[in-house]
Structure 1
Amino acid sequence: MDVALRPASRPDLPVLATIGVLAFRDTPLYAHFAPRHPQREGDFRAALLLEARTRFESPGQCVVVAEVDVDVDVDRGGSDGEDEDEREGGEKEGKRRMGRRMVVGFAYWVKVGGGSAGFGSGPGPSGTGEGKGVQEWYWKDTWGKKLRRTLLSFEAIYSGTLGPGRIFIAESVRRFHALTDQIIRNHASIIGREYWYLSTLAVLPAFQHRGIGARLVDWGLELARKEGVPVTLKSTESGYRLYERKGFKEVDAMQVTESLRVPIMVFEPS
């Protein structure tokens, strides 16, 4: 399958929220922190969209999307004088096949530590098709971004108190991230160093197990190798084998419940 990676654009963000709803629907971690999300899918999507919008406007956050070519049936737009026998491939009457690009997965990559001078100032990873440095895509801040982040912060307060963000058990989420982030920062391979953090990886269920998630992981690993810095993540059960194949090693874990264990993994560039 031909997969193309590129930086997300603002119109992509609702699509990412929809992908998240479908990809995370049956994951134990989301079932624990948002136990009613299958019944309140609209609120779940709204909360994921707010996260996507906030990350998109924040320096140091790399929102990377994966696209594939798909064929769709579209109306022919009236008779064109062809007989049905003349239509290629047995197309249905009144329809024709057209190819288009479709976003089917995304990753949130975060550079922790350092500043703009150390943030991917060289060429971007291969396969992005942009030929620009990651710094140029994501590190540059603007007054427009600052204003939008301010407005988003008020929206987040409303969402968490009166809006769709209430679908999450806020204190449990905050405590989980605080503890796991502390474990990562205090690990021997991370202390005092810049590092890349894979915050989220999601692929539409219909396109999983086709190498798309692996391509999104490789995006960050390629940068880490160029910069000589480690990569960290909190693994789900479904993603563990992929990360192992990519060279991540489990360094610790958080036992969220008796049956829910979240491994913390680190990749060290050779």
Structure 2
Amino acid sequence: MKFTERCLRILNYAESEAIKKTKVIYPVHLLMGILLERTGVCAELNINYPSLIKIVNERVKEMQFVREDKGISYEPFTTNISPITKHVLDIASDRMKRFNQVYINEGHLLDAIFRVNDQSTKKILEGLDVSRIFEIVAYPRDMIVSLKEYSLPKIPSTNITYKRVEQSDAALLKTFIEKEFGNGWLDSIENGFLNVKIPIFMALDEEHIVGFACFDVVRRKKGLFGPMGTSFSNRVKGIGYTLLHFCLREMKEIGYEYAVIGEAGPLEFYEKACNAVVIPRGS
């Protein structure tokens, strides 16, 4: 399994909490890890639900855990985990794969904690505003990027070529998108081809499309970045990063002061790639 950097910190917090109490990592320790993290949507959760960590801590102190003799060894932990914790991580991994992603993030993890059939976890969560917690941490979130001081960063040199899409590319691009991501984005892509200067960029490995990104195409909303996608076999190679920045540079040149990334899934990618921040939910 691969985890985002924030998720790895959450797992470290979880392990530290388990060492203090049970010596085996249970799902509730994963929840405590999320509450102890102070970046991104985890920070927002603490701001919106400040009493939550105290409530969970008090309930954990009262719990009588069903203790395995030793637990089981499981990376990336150095402390053993319970079988139900392994099940949580497996559910998180399945959710990640279902969304065609590469790294397990805090949203996948929280969703798995809530879904697992673990009586101890259910007692911890009893009476808490689970839907509120879930909406903040596990739902796709809108993000915003300031373009006021934006400049194109140094783009890594690779054998991948990038170009603005032309009308003649329409059929190949739509075929690529439908094959890799289904037909949900095709209407938005059609909107892009209504422009004289098409706001879509694509990445090519020789003559094969391996990725694309666009803006101003979803419902023809101005200043809205996306959708963006890279073929699964070409993820984590910097292709999405480069496509993102080609779009942001264009948006800056048009005169936009901000770019909105709608319903971003990999939040941490955008935080690191372009200093995007999550737009807070109303309380």
- TM bin (shorter chain): 0.3 to 0.5
Q: Which has the higher contact order (CA 8 A, sep 6+)?
A: 1
Alignment TM-score, normalising by the size of structure 2: 0.37
**Per residue, is there more helix in 1 or in 2?**
2
Alignment TM-score, normalising by the size of structure 1: 0.38
